[in-house]
Structure 1
Amino acid sequence: MKKAVVVFSGGQDSTICLVKALDEFDEVHAVTFDYAQRHRKEIKVAINLAQYFKVTTHKLMDLTLLNKLTISALTREELPVSNQLQNNGLPNSFVPGRNILFLTLAGIYAYQISADAVITGLCEADSSGYPDCRSVFLKNMNKTLIQGMDYKVNILAPLMRLNKAEVWAMADKYNVLDLIRYKTLTCYNGIIGIGCGNCLACKLRNIGLNNYLSNPKSIMKSYLKKVNSS
Structure 2
Amino acid sequence: MKQEKAVVVFSGGQDSTTCLFWALKQFREVEAVTFDYNQRHRLEIEVAASIANELGVPHTVLDMSLLNQLAPNALTRSDIAIEQKEGELPSTFVDGRNLLFLSFAAVLAKQKGARHLVTGVCETDFSGYPDCRDIFIKSLNVTLNLAMDYQFVIHTPLMWLNKAETWELADELGALDFVRSKTLTCYNGIIADGCGECPACKLRKRGLEQYLEKKEGVKN
Question: TM-score if structure 1 supplies the norm length?
Answer: 0.91
Quick check: 1:20 aligned with 2:19?
no
Deviations 1:152-206 (A, max 9, x none): 0000000001010000000111111111111100111111011111211111111
Amino acid at match of 1:45: V
**2:145 equivalent in structure 1:** 146
Residue 99 of structure 1 contacts residue 132 of structure 1 at CA under 8 Å; is this kept in 2?
yes
Report the alpha carbon displacement of residue 116 of structure 1 after superposing the two structures with TM.
2.0
**2:92 equivalent in structure 1:** 93
**2:81 equivalent in structure 1:** 80
Residue 14 of structure 1 contacts residue 120 of structure 1 at CA under 8 Å; is this kept in 2?
yes
Report the alpha carbon displacement of residue 39 of structure 1 after superposing the two structures with TM.
2.6
Report the alpha carbon displacement of residue 38 of structure 1 after superposing the two structures with TM.
0.8
Change (3 A) 1:189 1:11: same
Amino acid at match of 2:40: R
Distance between the aligned counterparts of 1:218 and 1:32, measured in 2? Answer: 38
Distance between the aligned counterparts of 1:156 and 1:101, measured in 2? Answer: 16
Quick check: 1:108 aligned with 2:107?
yes
Deviations 1:200-225 (A, max 9, x none): 11111111001001112779xxxxxx
**1:206 equivalent in structure 2:** 205
**2:130 equivalent in structure 1:** 131
Deviations 1:35-58 (A, max 9, x none): 011133111000000001001x21
Amino acid at match of 2:149: D
Structure 1's consecutive aligned runs of 4 or more residues displaced over 3 angstroms after TM superposition are: none
Amino acid at match of 1:85: K
Aligned-residue identity in percent:
55
Distance between the aligned counterparts of 2:126 and 2:101, measured in 1? Answer: 16
Deviations 1:64-116 (A, max 9, x none): 1101111211111111212x2265x2101101111011000001111111212
- Alignment: residue pair count: 216
Distance between the aligned counterparts of 1:211 and 1:99, measured in 2? Answer: 28
Distance between the aligned counterparts of 1:197 and 1:137, measured in 2? Answer: 31
**1:38 equivalent in structure 2:** 40
Quick check: 1:182 aligned with 2:190?
no
Residue 39 of structure 1 contacts residue 187 of structure 1 at CA under 8 Å; is this kept in 2?
no
Report the alpha carbon displacement of residue 25 of structure 1 after superposing the two structures with TM.
0.9
Amino acid at match of 1:7: V
Residue 72 of structure 1 contacts residue 95 of structure 1 at CA under 8 Å; is this kept in 2?
yes
**1:71 equivalent in structure 2:** 72
Amino acid at match of 1:90: L
Change (3 A) 1:218 1:118: farther
Distance between the aligned counterparts of 2:217 and 2:46, measured in 1? Answer: 35
**1:228 equivalent in structure 2:** none
**1:192 equivalent in structure 2:** 191
Residue 86 of structure 1 contacts residue 92 of structure 1 at CA under 8 Å; is this kept in 2?
no
Structure 1: tracts of 5 or more residues without a match: 220-230
Distance between the aligned counterparts of 1:182 and 1:131, measured in 2? Answer: 30
The Cα RMSD (Å) is 1.4
Distance between the aligned counterparts of 1:116 and 1:69, measured in 2? Answer: 29
User: Is 159-168 or 1-10 further displaced after alignment?
Assistant: 1-10
Question: TM-score if structure 2 supplies the norm length?
Answer: 0.95
